[in-house]
Amino acid sequence: MLGGEAVPYGKLWRTGANEPTMIHTSGPLAIAGIKLPAGSYSLYTVPGPSEWVIIVNRSITQWGEESNYTDKVKAQEVGRANVKAESAAAPVEKFTIRAEPPGSDATALLLEWQTTRVRIPLSQ
């Protein structure tokens, strides 16, 4: 899947299926150094074999297909950042997004699928 036809490397991905992944924060938050005020955002990525581009966008109403990431949607980007891809300790069958550690004191958002883990730093 990752790096294949479904989710090719170097192409914009909605980071999930159907609608893009949404992030809701009740206070200020930095995702991979991208500073966000409280609010709702969509998360896109550009996967790569060793590095992923993280994209945070204010637009939350578009359908997630990459073809719907129009110039109008792109104009609402809050920021982009690069993060390293790692090998997962064990294969992950279903695409998973989880906080590490779990709960409101999370310091990272983990994206895991197959043998890939992407750790996105979180800070306040």
How many whole angstroms separate alpha carbon 93 and alpha carbon 100?
Answer: 19
β-pair type (77-100, 51-57): antiparallel
**In the chain, where the domains are located:** 21-123
**pLDDT tens sequence across 30-57:** 999 999 999 999 999 999 999 999 999 9
Q: What pTM did the predictor assign? A: 0.92
β-pair type (77-100, 108-123): antiparallel
Taking a C-beta distance cutoff of 8 angstroms, is the pair 88, 114 a contact? Answer: yes
* pLDDT value at 101 more than 90: no
